[in-house]
A and B are shown apart, each in its own frame.
Chain A
Amino acid sequence: MNGLALYLRYVGVSVRGQMQYPRTFLLLNASQFFGSAIEILGISTLFGVFGHIRGWSLAQVAVFYGVVNAAFALADVATRGFDVFGPQFVRTGAFDRLLLRPRTTALQLLGFELRVQFGRLLQAMIVFAFGASALRLSFTPAHVLLLAWALAGGVALFGGILVLQATLCFWTVDALEVANILSFGGTQAGQYPLNIYAAWFRNLLIFIIPIGCVAYFPVVALLGARDPLGAPSWLLPLTPAVGFLFLAVALRVWALGLAKYASTGS
């Protein structure tokens, strides 16, 4: 069986397993939907008071919000294995078992209990649809392609962040809550167009944790706006590639951590 077929089998097992508890499934999805929807409640409350943020309207911010949240939600579904890596694999020693199997650890963790939850994704799509319809965005095939490309780059970036977070556990054994700053905090920061931030913070979000490359730049292109930060318009649709670059680097770091892994002794 090749890697892809094996992964699809993992997916099938996860979905079937979680569907054994249909009420739990619905409740978890509903709670994720409402838990993440309070973010947009807060943002729209602030727009109700101020009207705009550095010239951006609520509808425009809704498009940024929709893209970055959808990318995070999709990555979140697929990376549970990395998310619980410290407490469930390293501390318990269960990771040793993964090493015995003739497949890469990354594939096995990717297939570990997918989080079959779509509350956040649904919420992001509703907010995106609101923004797109209020702005009367036209969706040519090129636009759809750009959107899919930005989402793919975003999933790769958040996946990379989760892999780095898990890699830390080779040294710290348990999960560090601080690492959530990168995933949840990055999502929150990317919900707004980057030019609202101070320069140092903006540069952090472009060059170090490149949320801006998978959300801000492609969405500026999607909105047909001129980038207030002055990036040339030919560059904007290319930036999501940085997400894949980030993932590649993260997987290299993962390999380094893996090489020094010494079991906790199970």
Chain B
Amino acid sequence: MLRPYLAILSARFQLVLQYRAAALAGFATQCWWGGMKVLIFSAFYAGARGLAPMSFAHTVSYTWLGQAFLMFLPWYVDPEVADMVRTGAVAYERLRPVDGWAWWYARALAWTAARVVPRAALMFAMAAVFMPLVGLGRWGLRLPPDGLGAILFCAAILAAALLSASMTVILNVVAAASLTDRGANAIAAPIAIVFSGSLVPLAFFPHALTPFMRLQPFAGLMDTPFRVWNGELVGAAAVGAIALQLAWVLILAVLGRRAVEAVMGRIQVQGG
């Protein structure tokens, strides 16, 4: 029963993994952004000790992790689906004897994972290994405080991948309903960047917003796993945060599945 979904998952994963030049280019770009953010944070921290909600070391680690897992941000419609919508080939998706939502979900998960894995590996090698070796450890990525933290981080990052894919499917549906990926792409990126913690760590937003920021679904893409990594979320709190991530995966999956059925049930096709 799961076979077709596992097949598309592994096929797409291996396909996207082939784009080595894209991964290298992305890595170089992310080194630049990460480095610049670290320099800016270092200037802010230099003038104002004790004001920040996170230590400098934690903020730096958070920044590098944000670059390593940047591709978790659901800022585009899955490009293959966007192409199908443009050309009208999306109608063929109705012909497959599979569940429409699960099919797109497996696709999205593979696409996200295949872009994250090489970039994250390179970024870890650079920020957690190379930088400390050449004496730049103060500006590099620190490891989690203990083994248990590392295990919890792995769980949280897997949940983040599941969450990211469920958001991508919703973007796909918006594209299919509006006959173009442009609208969905334009709205998704700014929202995801702000509310995931990619712009600035969520703890830096005004205190009054903190409860909302912690609860909303985008926090599970970056903020939650990164706080687990830093050891700010430990034990039961960490498990609770991961449960919240998974709850959002479930909610978005149910919503996404309904939306797929509603939109694909009366899909309009353009092109000829």
A residues whose Cβ falls under 8 Å from a Cβ of B: 27-28, 31, 34-35, 37-38, 41-42, 45-46, 48-55, 176-178, 180-181, 185, 188-189, 192, 196-198, 201
Contact = CB atoms under 8 A, between A and B. Distances in A.
Given A48-B206, A178-B25, A197 B39 contact: yes
A201 B39 contact: yes
A196 B43 contact: yes
B58 to A, nearest CB: 14
Contact of B44 (A35, A50, A181, A188): A50
Contacts of A42: 194, 199-200
B52 A185 contact: no
Contact of B29 (A28, A55, A177, A196): A177
B25 A176 contact: yes
A51 B48 contact: yes
Nearest to B139: A198
A31 B75 CA distance: 13
B67 to A, nearest CB: 13
Given A49-B53, A185-B33, A197-B39, A35 B186 contact: yes
10 contacts: A28-B186, A46-B204, A49-B53, A50-B47, A52-B48, A53-B44, A185-B32, A192-B43, A196-B43, A197-B43
Nearest to A197: B39
A46, A176, A180: which has the most chain B beta carbons within 10 Å?
A46
Q: Is the interface of B mostly helix, strand, loop or mixed?
A: helix
A37 B25 CA distance: 26
Given A35-B186, A38-B190, A49 B51 contact: yes
A18 to B, nearest CB: 14
Contacts of B22: 177
The 3 closest A-B pairs by CB, nearest first: A31-B186, A196-B43, A42-B199
Given A41-B199, A46-B200, A35 B190 contact: yes
Contacts of B193: 38
Given A34-B190, A45-B200, A178-B28, A196 B40 contact: yes
Nearest to A51: B48
Nearest to A201: B39
B204 A189 contact: no
B51 A192 contact: no
A150 B14 CA distance: 49
B205 interface: yes
Interface of B: 22, 25-26, 28-29, 32-33, 36, 39-40, 43-48, 51-53, 182-183, 186-187, 189-190, 193-194, 199-200, 204-206
A49 B36 contact: no
A181 B43 contact: no
Given A46-B200, A49-B44, 20 more contacts: A27-B182, A28-B186, A31-B186, A34-B190, A35-B189, A37-B190, A41-B194, A46-B40, A46-B204, A50-B44, A50-B51, A51-B48, A52-B48, A177-B22, A177-B26, A178-B28, A180-B29, A181-B32, A185-B33, A185-B36
A52 to B, nearest CB: 6
A64 to B, nearest CB: 13
Contact of A181 (B29, B183, B205): B29
Contacts of B43: 53-54, 192, 196-197
A168 to B, nearest CB: 12
Contacts of B199: 38, 41-42, 45
Contact of A53 (B36, B47, B205, B206): B47
Given A41-B199, A196-B43, A201-B39, A181 B52 contact: no
B28 A181 contact: yes
B103 to A, nearest CB: 29
Nearest to B42: A198
Nearest to B205: A45
Contacts of A31: 186-187
A50 B52 CA distance: 7
A20 to B, nearest CB: 16
Contacts of A53: 40, 43-44, 47
Contacts of B28: 178, 181
A176 B26 CA distance: 10
A49 B204 contact: yes
Nearest to B53: A49
A51 B43 CA distance: 12
B242 to A, nearest CB: 26
A46 B205 CA distance: 8
A54 B29 CA distance: 27
Contact of B52 (A34, A49, A197): A49
Contacts of A198: 39
B20 to A, nearest CB: 13
A41 B193 CA distance: 11
B104 to A, nearest CB: 24
